Amino acid sequence: MIEIDRELLNAGDQALLAIMILIIMFGMGASLTPRDFSDALRRPKGVIIGFLSQFGLMPLIALGLALLLRLPPPQAIALIMVGCLPGGTTSNMFAYFARGSVALSISMTAASTVLALIMMPLLLDLYASGFAKQIDEAMLAEGAETGFVIPHINIVISLFLVLLPVGGGMILRRFSPGWAKTAEDTAGFMAVIVILFLLGSVAIRHGALFVVTPWTLYAGAITLSLAGFAFGFGFAALWRVEPRQQRAISLETGIQNGPIAFAVILLSFEEPLRSQMLWLPILYSTSVVITSSLVTLRFRKTGAADDAIFRNNRVHRRLFGETFRTAYPPSVIPRNLKRFHESLRRD
Amino acid sequence: MEPLRATGRHLAELYGHAAELFGDLPAFASRKEALSWEPVSFRELYERGLCLATALIDLGVEAREHVGLLGDNRFEWILADYGVQLCGAADVPRGRDVTDQEIAYILEHAEVRVSFVETRQLLKRIEPLREKLPQLRILILLEPVDDAPAGVLRLADLLGRGAELRARGDRRAEERIAGIRGEDLFTLIYTSGTTGVPKGVMLTHANMIAQMNNIRMDIRCTDRVLSILPIWHVYERVFEVLSISRGCCTYYTNPRHLAEDLANVEPTFMGSAPRLWENLHQRILKRAREAHPVRRALFHTAYFLAHHYKESVFYLTRRHLFLKPVHPVAEAAGMVFHALRWFLLLPWYGFFNAAVLEKLRLVVGGQFRASVSGGGALPREVDQFFNYLGIPVLEGYGLTETSPVIAVRTEKKLVIGTVGILLPDTSVRIADLDTGKILYPDESAPHLGRGRQGEIEVKGPQVMRGYYKDKEGTDRAFHDGWFRTGDLGMITFNDCLRIVGRCKDTIVLSSGENLEPGPIEARLGQSNLIEHVMVVGQDRRFLTALIVPTQQAATEFDGKALHDALAQEIRERVSTAKGFKAYELIRDFRILPDNFSVGDELTNLQKLKRHVVAEKHRELIDSMYPHETGGSARKGGRR
C-alpha cells in the first residue's frame, strides 16, 4: 500500500478543484440540448451497444486489471470506480477527429451521464464490495471503531450534485447559445488545466509520489483506457455497426469522465482513503489524453476510406436529393465497409 | 492503395474507360440552387458525348478539324468537349471575356468552320464578325433555350439527332475514335496576346495523357472538386480531365456563390489561383480582428504555435527551403534544435490544433485534403499561413505550352518557397540569360549547379508540339529542343524548382492578366517630362511605375508640382480612351532621384534591366502596394 503522509490535496486545492469541476460540468451541460437525449432514443442500436460496452465491459476490464495487477484495495476501488464512470465530453472531440460519429458520441455521453446515477452505485456494489471488505477488515484489525462500507448514498448524492451544473449548462444553452459556446470552450480548456493543476500540486507537495508509486498503478491507469478502446471497438464490430460508430463507441468506452471521479471521491470518502484513491483517477486522466490521442491518430488513418465514402454520400444526398444513391465500383469499397455497403444501397 | 484511374492512348479512350470504370458515379454537377444540384454520371456523359460526336460527324466535322468552343465553365462545355474529342476533332476554346478582335483572329487563324457558343449574348457579338469569316459555317448554342436564333443550332437538337442516328446503328463515332493518334491535337489554345497577336498552342492527346500519368496527386472517386477557374485555360482543364480519370465529381461554382458552395459541397480538392488564398487569408484575419479579445488571443496563440511547430516538422522532414549547401554539423545542430522544439510544442500544438485551428479550417469547408495553387505566385505569407494552418497548398508551375504542369509540390515534398519537384519524365535545365550557357545540370560545378539562377528550360512529354502556323515563333520558343519558359529560376538543394522572376518583359498581374510593359513605357517615354520609366506589377493587383524625370522637368517643377505634373501626364497618355485596357492603367508611381546608367540599370543597347531596377527599388515598389503581401519578393508558378 502506498503511504501518503499528508493529504494529497489540501483544503485550498480541493476548493479549487471543486470550482474547476463545476466549470467543466457546466460546460458539458452547455454543449448538450434536450434534443441530444431524445436523439439517443432515436438511434437505440448504437446507444445500447455503447451502453453495454461502457457499463458492461469497462467495469469488468477495471476489475480484471485490479485483480491481475494485485492493486491494493483503495486503488482497486478507485480503478473500478473509473471503470464505472460515464463518458466524458472530450470523447466527442476525439470522436470528431477520429472520423467517428459525433452524434452517436454525444448521445452516448448524454445517456451514460444520466444512467450513471443508477449504474455507478450498482456496479460498485457488484465489483468493489470485495475490496471494500478487505479495507473494512484491515481497519477493524487496526482497532478502528467503525469499519468501512462503500458509501452508496453519498455517491448517489455526489453524482446528483455533479449533475446539477450539467442541468444549469443546458438551461444556459436554451437561453443564450452564444454564452453556452463560451462556457463549452472554457470547459474544454479547463479539462486540460485541471490535469496540469493536479499534477502540479502533487509534484510540488508530494514529488516523491511519482517515484514510489508502484508500476502496477501506472500500468492499471494506462491499460484501462487502452483496453477500453480495444474491447469497445471489437464489441461494436461484433454487433456490426458502421465503422464510424465503431470508432465512436471505442473512444466512448475508453474515455471516462474523470472529473466525476474526483467529485465523488472528494464528497463521499474520508481521509486517508480519499488521498489514496484520488491518485489513480489523476493518473488515468493524464494518460487518457495521450492514449486517446494515439488511438485517434490511428483511427484517422484506418477510417479515412470509409469516412470519405460516408461524407461523399452525405454531400450527394444533400445536393442531389435524399433519394440519391451513390454507386461506387466494388474495388473502391474498403474492407471494413464491405458488409455494410450492400445494406446501405438497399435502404 | 493506388487510386483507381481511367487511362487510354488519347482522351476519347480515357473518357470511355472512365465511363466503364465509374459508371453511375456522378461526374459533373451543376448548381440550380444552393442545395439543389443536377448530377450527370460518367456513363451518361459518355453516351451523350457519343451522340453529340455522331451529330457533329453528320454535320460534316472532319477528323482533326478545329472546332470552336467559346464559353465559360458549365456542364454543356464539357459535353461539347466530349463531342469534339469523340469525333476525333480538336477544340479551340476561349472564355466569354474574349474581345471581338480576338474572336475574329482566332476563328480565322484556326480555320474554324463549326463553333460552339455558350450564350445568346456572345452569339450577338459573333454575328457581325461572320462577314469576315467566310469559312465559319455552323454555330451551336450551348445554353438551353426554347428556340435558337435563325441559322444557329441548339445543343439539345444535335443530341437528339445523334441519338436517333446511333439508334439506327450509326457507329461512325467509334470509327473516328479508333483513328485518333497520340500526336493529334486535342486542343488548340490561343494565349492572350502578349506581343501583338495571340499564339495558338498546339497540345496533343499525348501531352494530356502524359500529364494524367505523371501528376501523382491522391485524388480518388470519393473526392469532390470545386471548379472555379476558367475552363479554357489548360490549368483548369487538366483538373477536369484528372477528375474524370479518377472518377471524382466536379462541381461548377462561381465567385458569387463560392463561400456558400464551399460549405455545401465540402470540396476535398480544388485547383485555385493565388487570389482565392489571399481572399481567404484576409477573411480569416478580419474575422480574428473583429473577434472577442479572448478569441483573438486564442487565435494568435494557436497560429504562433502552429507556425513554430510546423516549421520544425518541415525541417525535420527536410521540407525547408534549401538554397545553399549546408555543412553536416550545422545541419545536425538544426536537427537537434528542431527536434527539441517539436517535442516541447507538441502537446500545446495538439490542444490548440483541436480547439482553434480546426474551426479555422472549417472556413474553407473543412474537408480539404489539399489544394493546388497556380497561375501566379502565391505570396509567401499566405503560403505559410495555410500550410501551417494545416491546409496543404500545393503550389505548381507551368505554362500553357507545357499543358501546363512542369513541377508541383507533393505533400511529401511540400517545400514552401518552391513549386515542388519536377513531374516524372520531365527535365529542366537552367540557362544563363546572357550567354545561354547551361548552369544546371553542370557536371563541372559543385552540386551540379544547384542554386544557380537562370532561365528555366524544359523537356518532357507535356511540352507542346509548337505554335499553330507559326514556325518562326515555335523556333524562337525552343533552344536545342528545350522549351524556353521565359521564367527565371533555380533548382534547390533538395531538388525543388524555385521560381525567382521573369526573364521576358511580360508582366502577369495577380488576376492572371498578361501584359507587355513595352508599349506603355514607350507611350510614357514620349512625354518631355519623362526620361526613363519602368512599369511594375508582376504578381500584383495593378500596375505602377518608377519614373526618372527629364532634366527639363526637374528644373521646371519642384516637389509636389512635379508629382502632379507627372500624374497628369500619366493619366492623359495611358487611358482607356487611348486604347489601353483597364488593367493596363498606371495606378500609382514613384519618382526616382537618380538617372539610370548604362551598365547598371541599362544594357549597352539602352535596354532596361528590369530585375536590377526592381531589386534596387524594392522598398519603393512595395510602398505602392500597402495592402499586398510582398509579391515581388518571390515569384511562383504562372500558367
Task: Answer whether A320 sits within 8 Å of B24, measured CB to CB.
Answer: no
Give a yes or no: residue B259 inside a domain. Answer: no
Give a yes or no: residue B169 inside a domain. Answer: yes
**Cβ B635 vs Cβ B538: under 8 Å:** yes
Give a yes or no: residue A1 inside a domain. Answer: no
Give a yes or no: residue B523 inside a domain. Answer: yes
A196 and A331 in a common domain: no
CB pairs under 8 A between A and B: 64
A330 and A258 in a common domain: no
Give a yes or no: residue A6 inside a domain. Answer: no
Task: Answer whether A315 sits within 8 Å of B38, measured CB to CB.
Answer: no
Give a yes or no: residue B541 inside a domain. Answer: yes
A243 and A201 in a common domain: yes
Give a yes or no: residue A3 inside a domain. Answer: no
Domain with residue B44: its CATH number is: 3.40.50.12780
Higher pLDDT, B579 or B230: B230
Using an 8 Å CB-CB cutoff, list chain B residues near A320.
26, 29, 37-39
Using an 8 Å CB-CB cutoff, list chain B residues near A345.
none
Q: Does residue B268 sit at the A interface (CB-CB below 8 Å)?
A: yes
A319 and A187 in a common domain: no
| Pairing between β-strand B454-459 and β-strand B427-431 as defined by DSSP bridges | antiparallel
Question: Which of B35, B350, B358 is facing A318, going by the closest CB pair?
Answer: B35
Give a yes or no: residue B532 inside a domain. Answer: yes
Domain that holds residue A93: 11-301
Across chain B, mean pLDDT equals 89
Give a yes or no: residue B276 inside a domain. Answer: no
pLDDT < 70: residue spans in chain A: 1-6, 340-347
Give a yes or no: residue B324 inside a domain. Answer: no
Provide the β-strand partners of residue B491: B497
A210 and A79 in a common domain: yes
Of the residues A264, A284, A301, which one is the last residue of a structural domain?
A301
Domain with residue A139: its CATH number is: 1.20.1530.20
Dihedral over Cα of B158, B161, B164, B165: its sign: negative
Using an 8 Å CB-CB cutoff, list chain B residues near A316.
26, 39
Q: What is the pLDDT of residues B395-443, one digit of tens each?
A: 999 999 999 999 999 888 899 999 999 999 999 999 988 788 999 999 9
* CB interface of A with B, residues 282-311, below 8 Å: 293, 305, 308-309, 311
Give a yes or no: residue A4 inside a domain. Answer: no
Task: Give the gap in angstroms from C-alpha B343 to the nearest C-alpha of chain A.
Answer: 14
Q: Does residue A196 sit at the B interface (CB-CB below 8 Å)?
A: no
Total of domains in chain A: 2
A341 and A198 in a common domain: no
Of the residues B149, B180, B211, which one is the last residue of a structural domain?
B180
The whole-number average pLDDT for the span B533-548 is: 90
Cα A77 from chain centroid? 17
Give a yes or no: residue A239 inside a domain. Answer: yes
Domain that holds residue B46: 11-180
Q: Does residue B59 sit at the A interface (CB-CB below 8 Å)?
A: no
Short-list B62, B634, B15, B111, CA closest to B383: B634
Q: What is the pLDDT of residues B75-121, one digit of tens each?
A: 999 999 999 999 999 999 999 888 888 899 999 999 999 999 999 99
**Rg (alpha carbons) of chain A, rounded to whole number:** 21
Give a yes or no: residue A5 inside a domain. Answer: no
Give a yes or no: residue B29 inside a domain. Answer: yes
B18 phi and psi angles, rounded to 5 deg? -65, -40
Domain with residue B575: its CATH number is: 3.30.300.30
Q: What is the pLDDT of residues B225-251, one digit of tens each?
A: 999 899 999 999 999 999 999 999 999
Q: What is the DSSP string of B116-162?
A: EES-HHHHHHHGGGGGG-TT--EEEE-S--SSPPTTEEEHHHHHHHH
A254 and A178 in a common domain: yes
Q: What is the pLDDT of residue B164?
A: 97
Question: Which of B25, B35, B37 is facing A328, going by the closest CB pair?
Answer: B25
Q: What is the pLDDT of residues A156-173, one digit of tens each?
A: 999 989 889 999 999 999
Q: What is the pLDDT of residue A336?
A: 84
A327 and A227 in a common domain: no
Secondary structure (H, E, C), A235-288: HHHHCCCCHHHHHHHHHHHHCECHHHHHHHHHHHCCCCHHHHHHHHHHHHHHHH
Short-list B303, B392, B308, CA closest to B356: B303
Q: What is the pLDDT of residue A2?
A: 55
Give a yes or no: residue A146 inside a domain. Answer: yes
Give a yes or no: residue A27 inside a domain. Answer: yes
* Dihedral in degrees, nearest 10, Cα atoms B555, B560, B562, B565: -140
Q: Does residue B247 sit at the A interface (CB-CB below 8 Å)?
A: yes
A201 and A97 in a common domain: yes
A336 and A295 in a common domain: no
Task: Answer whether B39 sits within 8 Å of A320, measured CB to CB.
Answer: yes
Q: What is the pLDDT of residue B101?
A: 86
A264 and A215 in a common domain: yes
Q: Does residue A323 sit at the B interface (CB-CB below 8 Å)?
A: no
Task: Give the gap in angstroms from C-alpha A258 to the nearest C-alpha of chain B.
Answer: 18
A179 and A73 in a common domain: yes
Total of domains in chain B: 2
Q: Give the pLDDT band (50/70/90) at residue B292.
A: confident
B356 phi and psi angles, rounded to 5 deg? -115, -50
